C-alpha cells in the first residue's frame, strides 16, 4: 500500500526586470523576508541569481527571476495576462492597506467586501495584479467591536 507524504508548493517564479528594486519592494514595502540571495548560473554559464522572498511565517515564497531575453522581458508585469495572479492574505486588512498606501503601492480601486473576504487589487513593482485579502470574519468582528 502506498503511503501519502506531505506535498506543498514551495516557490512560484515571478519575473522581474532587476533584482534589487524587486527585493526592496517585497521586503521594504510588503514586509516579506529575504530568505535567500545567492549567485547562480544559467545552463550556458551566464550569471544569474537565486533570490527568494517569503511572507513571514509562510511556507510558499516567490523566486524572483530576472528576465533573460526579449520573451521573458515581455512577460514582466503580465504573468497572469492582466488578471489577478497573486493573492496576499493578511490578518489585519485595514492596517496593511493603510501601510501599503502610505508606502506608495498602487491600488486599482477602493477596498470592497466579497463572500471570501475583504479585498483590494494592487500592483507589484513589475505591474502584476495582486489581491490583498482580509478575512470577512475579522472585519465583522472589528465592526461589531466598534458598535459596542
- Residue ranges per structural domain of the chain: 1-76, 79-148
> How many whole angstroms separate alpha carbon 37 and alpha carbon 75?
22
Instruction: Please give the share of the chain, as a percent, with pLDDT higher than 70.
Output: 89
Structure confidence at residue 148 (pLDDT): 42
Give the CA dihedral 22, 100, 55, 26, nearest 10 degrees. Answer: 10
Cell of 71: 520573451
Backbone angles phi, psi at 74, to 5 degrees: -65, -25
What is the mean predicted confidence (pLDDT) over 14-36?
97
Reading the block at residue 111, the C-alpha cell is 477596498
The CATH number of 79-148 is: 3.10.180.10
Q: Return the axis-axis angle of helices 93-102 and 136-147, rounded to nearest 10°.
A: 100
Name the pLDDT band for 147 (thresholds 50, 70, 90).
Answer: very low
* 1-76: CATH topology: 2,3-Dihydroxybiphenyl 1,2-Dioxygenase; domain 1 (3.10.180)
Do 1-76 and 79-148 agree at the fold level? yes
Amino acid at each position: 500500500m502506498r503511503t501519502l507524504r506531505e506535498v506543498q508548493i514551495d516557490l512560484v517564479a515571478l519575473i522581474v526586470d532587476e533584482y534589487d528594486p524587486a527585493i526592496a519592494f517585497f521586503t521594504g514595502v510588503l514586509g516579506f523576508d529575504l530568505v535567500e540571495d545567492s549567485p547562480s548560473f544559467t545552463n550556458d554559464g551566464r550569471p544569474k541569481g537565486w533570490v527568494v522572498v517569503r511572507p513571514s511565517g509562510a511556507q510558499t515564497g516567490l523566486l524572483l527571476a530576472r528576465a533573460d531575453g526579449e520573451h521573458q522581458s515581455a512577460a514582466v508585469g503580465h504573468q497572469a495576462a492582466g488578471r489577478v495572479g497573486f493573492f496576499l492574505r493578511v490578518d489585519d486588512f485595514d492596517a496593511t492597506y493603510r501601510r501599503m498606501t502610505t508606502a506608495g503601492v498602487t491600488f486599482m480601486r477602493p477596498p470592497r467586501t466579497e463572500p471570501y473576504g475583504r479585498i483590494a487589487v494592487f500592483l507589484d513593482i513589475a505591474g502584476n495584479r495582486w489581491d490583498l485579502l482580509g478575512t470577512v470574519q475579522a472585519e465583522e468582528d472589528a465592526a461589531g467591536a466598534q458598535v459596542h
